[in-house]
Structure 1
Amino acid sequence: MLEALGLDSALESVYRGLLQYPDAGVDDLCALLGIGEAEVRSSLDRLVDMDLLQSSRECPGMLRAVSPAVGLELILRRQEADLLRRQEELARSKEAVARAVAEFAELRPNTDVDGAERLVGMDAIQSRLEQLARDLDHDCLAIMPGGAQSQASLDASRPLDKEALHRGVQLLTVYQDSARNDPSTLAYARWMSELGGQVRTSPVVPPRMLIFDRTTAVVPINPANTRLGALCTSAPGIVASLVALFEQTWETAVPLGAERRNDSREDTDGLTATERQLLKLLASGMTDEAAGKRLGVSLRTVRRLMAALMERLDATSRFEAGLKAAQKGWL
């Protein structure tokens, strides 16, 4: 009953016993309460420390139980004073943290006068993303190329996405169609959808980008070499262009829960969306490897798809396949 005041069951039993039997000794309390001598003596010491037991003026060397009206009120006052002290310490800590954050912000390297910040290394990128995610108010727009996402990337994103969704932030994400073939990425996308996020896929997507509240964007410095780091910018012109690119991609993408009409099933020309995009990429002069990166599929998958297309076109070379594809209007 009195646990909120710091009195556990044994302590409360000894206190009640002394209130009811003021002259009871240690042996008497053991017999009355059915607890051991060590526990009784320990409880008596703690009651003295809490000022619920005081020395008797009538019987020197004996202890008397202080009335609950006085003793428990004293405990409450102590708790209130302790709470006030901790609140004051918390307020001082918050002030110290605010000052430290301001000081550390001034120390952040590679920030230029145009508001663009170069982030080098995964730790620097993750730290900046954590800060941006924490400050989100409305939405986060994301394009995730490459099909399958690394487990490390998914693990790092999960707590940020979960916290943002719980705050009512709208998350819109576009993956490549090939992400549907990766169990881990697909499971993550479905998890986001269940929490209220919106996920779509497209055969070909622009380079990776994250746009926070349509005011700040994080993009790779060089999509072909992610080791060079990322660029975080709030330049209105750049961010507006990236938002427009995202919206165009979003409009042509297909919701995760829907079946892509031109991907898993053939269109009227007998092509899937991935096959059509592959033909266009190869016809533009891309190598198999480069086309695979754009589609988010492996080199082996590109060659398998191309071999199947050549067989359907009854072509003995890729050049002949290109001619026949153009004649059929596939390009």
Structure 2
Amino acid sequence: MAGTGVLASLGLGAAEERLYLHLLGTRAADPYHLALQLRLRVPAVTAALAALAGHGLVRAQGDGAWSALAPDVALEELLERRESELRRARTRLGELTRAYRQGREDPRGDGPAEVVCGRRSIAELWRTLQSRTRTQMRVLDRPPYVRRSDADTELALLARGVRARVVYHAGVLREAGRLEQIHAFAAAGEQARVHTELPLKLALLDERWALLPVSAGTELTSVLLVRPSTLLEALAGLFELYWAQAVRLPSPGGEGGGQVGGGGEGEAERQRRLLALLAAGLTDESIARQLGVSTRTVQRWVRELMDRFGARTRFQAGIQAARAELL
């Protein structure tokens, strides 16, 4: 039975930990009296004493009694042994990983890549990779999806200080509630941009993994897991290209440019959202749903923006606003 207290992390069982803590408060005791005091069977006490002696935490006296060694000495030595074991295990982990990869590589393939199939397996892999990400996550976000976005997972990742940059396909913003969710991520530290054309769905985690669909379609049933290779470098370059082309999506309430048709902080916020949605290529109807106004109101606002920037199209007005750093 595993210990539950301070010594459990060092591999001591519950009985061993209880016995050692008891011996710290007494000079010495024999197994019989220890069994009475702790309400344990004598064989259980004898076995626990032998285990503690193996860890160098107790020693036998000449009269059959046992005493605890000073914890600042005994536990320090035990900690060093455990740390040494962990270092050896980490070295062994690399060997096991190489064996795992070699057993799954396609002999006809050129790089270290693995195909993962099944919606549940993909979802578990994505959660695992996110939990192991340490420095940065880069994503080209577009359908298809395995499941609804796990907001808690990304927020936890951002809370750890991981830098997240995401380029959203314009169509994502048309989904109910997604813009508000993206703003929540942005408030937690995510850098969000929007692009009207994304060639594929892609996630890059640190410089260690990339995840992308095996084939295009409306359902995500298999993905390619790519490890460090020229392919991984090429995918990272592809992300940076679309990141540079995308339009920044501001979180609501930040500082921004001038206003259209009125004043006040609420008006400025509305204009920034309108400009971002225009630059993302959304239709008037989609923008109206996002902003909670009528389509006719959106059309009036768009005409005012086009006149302001001398733009011939609504999309051009959004791009010019971005270049003028109003987004």
Which residue in the other structure is 1:261 paired with? 271
Find the partner of 1:162 among 156, 165, 178: 156
Aligned identity (percent) is 14
Find the partner of 2:98 among 99, 102, 127: 102
RMSD value, Cα: 5.5
Which residue in the other structure is 1:112 paired with? 109
Instruction: Tell me by how many angstroms 1:172 deviates.
Output: 1.1
In structure 1, C-alpha distance between the alignment counterparts of 2:40 and 2:209, rounded to whole Å: 61
Contact 2:122 2:223 in 1 (8 A): yes
In structure 2, C-alpha distance between the alignment counterparts of 1:84 and 1:261, rounded to whole Å: 61
Which one has a bigger Cα radius of gyration? 1
**Structure 2 residue matching 1:196: 3-state secondary structure:** coil
Q: TM-score, normalised by structure 2?
A: 0.50
Instruction: Tell me by how many angstroms 1:84 deviates.
Output: 5.2
Cα deviation per residue 1:280-309 (whole Å; 9 max; x = unaligned)?
A: xxxxxxxxxxxx9xx799xxx8xxx9x967
In structure 1, C-alpha distance between the alignment counterparts of 2:91 and 2:41, rounded to whole Å: 42
In structure 2, C-alpha distance between the alignment counterparts of 1:134 and 1:209, rounded to whole Å: 17
Task: Classify 1:118/1:247 alpha carbon distance in 2 versus 1 (closer, same or farther; 3 Å).
Answer: farther
What pairs with 1:298-313 in structure 2 (closer than 5 Å)? none
1:273 and 2:278 are equivalent in the alignment: yes
Task: Classify 1:161/1:75 alpha carbon distance in 2 versus 1 (closer, same or farther; 3 Å).
Answer: closer
Contact 2:212 2:224 in 1 (8 A): yes
Which residue in the other structure is 1:122 paired with? 119
Contact 1:178 1:296 in 2 (8 A): no
Contact 1:14 1:44 in 2 (8 A): no
Find the partner of 2:140 among 137, 140, 143: 143
Which residue in the other structure is 1:196 paired with? 189
1:93 and 2:98 are equivalent in the alignment: no
Query: What are structure 2's unaligned runs of at least 5 residues?
Result: 1-5, 8-15, 50-57, 254-268, 301-311, 316-327
Query: What are structure 1's unaligned runs of at least 5 residues?
Result: 20-25, 27-36, 56-62, 280-291, 314-327
Contact 1:263 1:274 in 2 (8 A): no
Task: Classify 1:196/1:51 alpha carbon distance in 2 versus 1 (closer, same or farther; 3 Å).
Answer: same
What pairs with 1:1-331 in structure 2 (closer than 5 Å)? 11=22, 15=26, 39-40=36-37, 42=39, 49=49, 55=63, 71-73=67-69, 79=75, 82-83=78-79, 85-110=81-106, 112-113=109-110, 118-122=115-119, 125-126=122-123, 129=126, 133=130, 138-145=135-142, 152-155=147-150, 158-159=152-153, 162-163=156-157, 166=160, 168-175=161-168, 176=170, 179=173, 182-183=176-177, 185=178, 188-201=181-194, 204-206=196-198, 207-212=200-205, 217-227=210-220, 229-231=222-224, 234-235=230-231, 236-237=233-234, 239-249=236-246, 252-257=247-252, 259=269, 261=271, 264=274, 273=278, 277-278=282-283
Q: Give the letter aligned to residue 145 of structure 1.
A: R
Q: TM-score, normalised by structure 1?
A: 0.50
Cα deviation per residue 1:29-54 (whole Å; 9 max; x = unaligned)?
A: xxxxxxxx985374896599455776
